[in-house]
């Protein structure tokens, strides 16, 4: 008879995005209709500026923030770890020049675009 409701928890950047989006939307509406109430003839300019410039820019910055914090949380990539290990082995003299180059080529071939 009753449906079970599942709740999902927002992560930090999703919550920030929702907060910023709703705040900017509220400010645009209050400003535009406030100007209309005051008799300002060009009140409509607030809509394209607010929704076409300010809101996308703010949400884009939230996306950049999310991307940088997500990459910091994930830690080093497999390539970074393998490259670091390979360098340390070479510096300690455990690998010859030829072996180092062979392993480096193998690493670059098997990690694809992660190395870039």
What is the mean pLDDT, run by run of 10 residues, along the chain of 116 residues?
67 86 96 96 95 94 83 70 87 89 87 52
| pLDDT given for residue 83 in this prediction | 86
CB–CB of 86/115 below 8 Å? no
Three-class DSSP category at 100: helix
CB–CB of 50/59 below 8 Å? no
Flag whether the pTM goes above 0.75: no
14 Cβ neighbours under 8 A, 6+ residues apart: none
| pLDDT given for residue 110 in this prediction | 81
What percent of the residues of the chain are helix, what percent strand, and what percent coil, each to the nearest 5? 80, 0, 20
């Amino acid at each position: 008879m009753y449906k079970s409701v599942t709740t999902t928890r927002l992560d930090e950047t999703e919550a920030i995005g929702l907060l910023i989006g709703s705040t900017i939307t509220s400010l645009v509406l209050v400003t535009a209709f406030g100007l209309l109430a005051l008799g300002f003839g060009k009140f409509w300019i607030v809509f394209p500026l607010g929704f076409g410039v300010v809101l996308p820019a703010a949400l884009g910055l939230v996306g950049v923030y999310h991307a940088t914090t997500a990459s910091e949380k994930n830690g080093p990539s497999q390539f970074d770890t393998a490259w670091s290990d390979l360098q340390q082995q070479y510096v300690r003299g455990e690998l010859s020049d030829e072996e180092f180059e062979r392993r480096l080529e193998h690493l670059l071939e098997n990690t694809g675009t992660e190395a870039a």
